[in-house]
Amino acid sequence: MSGSTKAIWHDVECGSYDADLPLWEELAERQNGPILELGCGTGRVSIHLARRGYPVYALDREPELLERLIRRAAGLDVDPFAVDAREYQLPEEVCLTLAPMQFLQLLPDRNARLACFRRLSVALRPGGLLAAAITESIPPADGALPPLPDVREVDGWVYSSLPVAAATADGRIVLRRLRQTVSPAGELREEEDEIQLQVLSAEEIEAEATAAGLISAGRRTIPETDAHVGSTVVLLERGA
């Protein structure tokens, strides 16, 4: 099997998503300064913005994902940090922090989010902006056709990830996928993968961030696609 399996699955399941990129570009142009991305993964957003001339600090606690980002970001102004979002220290304050793809909902609880917000209140410049994408609920299927699998071929190996279930229970949104791998010789392996997101509303995010010293600065939306639900983007600002 080729390369880091964790990085490959991240690319398969997240790499083609682009519905949020126009908003991140708009905010980057508006803030016009260094950017921090939380949960950058293999670089989908960080590299996109760096190619448009913005310096980016790319933060993720998974070194395997950052290794792939580093290779892809050669020659670009991307500075990776393999650290938890509650513990980092940047060499300068940033104008914009992005938390794409439900990053805040992946944190385990309110205390973890408060710690993240407190760190951001230090990392942002006065007037700096945090933009956090959240999914407030999972819409009912309503008899719609199931989505197609996400598929990628890497060095003769075929990786397929099919969403099979999404449900809300016990304060969490549970997302399940069937991952299938086909070797160059045609051997099939499969396993289930599960991601749990904390159920959060925009109002809860705003209240927690305010308690940590940030100021509510409005909301935006990211439209749904054939394969992804829409998102609410909560905007929060560091006061002057």
- The per-residue pLDDT for 170 is 87
What is the SS3 assignment for 29? Answer: helix
Owning domain of residue 170: 150-197
Same domain, 217 and 108: yes
CA dihedral 65, 70, 71, 76 (to 10 degrees): 140
Is 101 domain-assigned? yes
- The secondary structure of residue 213, as a DSSP letter, is T
- The per-residue pLDDT for 224 is 87
Which DSSP helix (H) or strand (E) runs through 37?
A: strand 35-38
Can you tell me the distance from the alpha carbon of 174 to that of 191, in angstroms, rounded to the nearest whole number? 16
Same domain, 165 and 126: no
The residue among 223, 206, 238, 222 whose CA lies nearest residue 31 is: 238
Same domain, 16 and 45: yes
Same domain, 124 and 177: no
What phi, psi does 55 have (nearest 5°)? Answer: -70, 135
CATH number for the domain spanning 78: value is 3.40.50.150
Give mean pLDDT in consecutive 10-residue pieces for the chain, a chain of 240 residues: 79 95 98 97 98 98 96 97 94 97 96 96 96 86 73 95 90 94 96 95 97 96 85 94
Total structural domains in the chain? 2
Is 145 domain-assigned? no
Within 10 angstroms of residue 85's Cβ, the number of other Cβ atoms is 26
- The per-residue pLDDT for 140 is 65
Same domain, 132 and 46: yes
- The per-residue pLDDT for 21 is 98
CATH number for the domain spanning 179: value is 2.20.25.110
What is the chain's length? Answer: 240
Same domain, 74 and 162: no
Same domain, 87 and 121: yes
Global confidence as pTM: 0.94
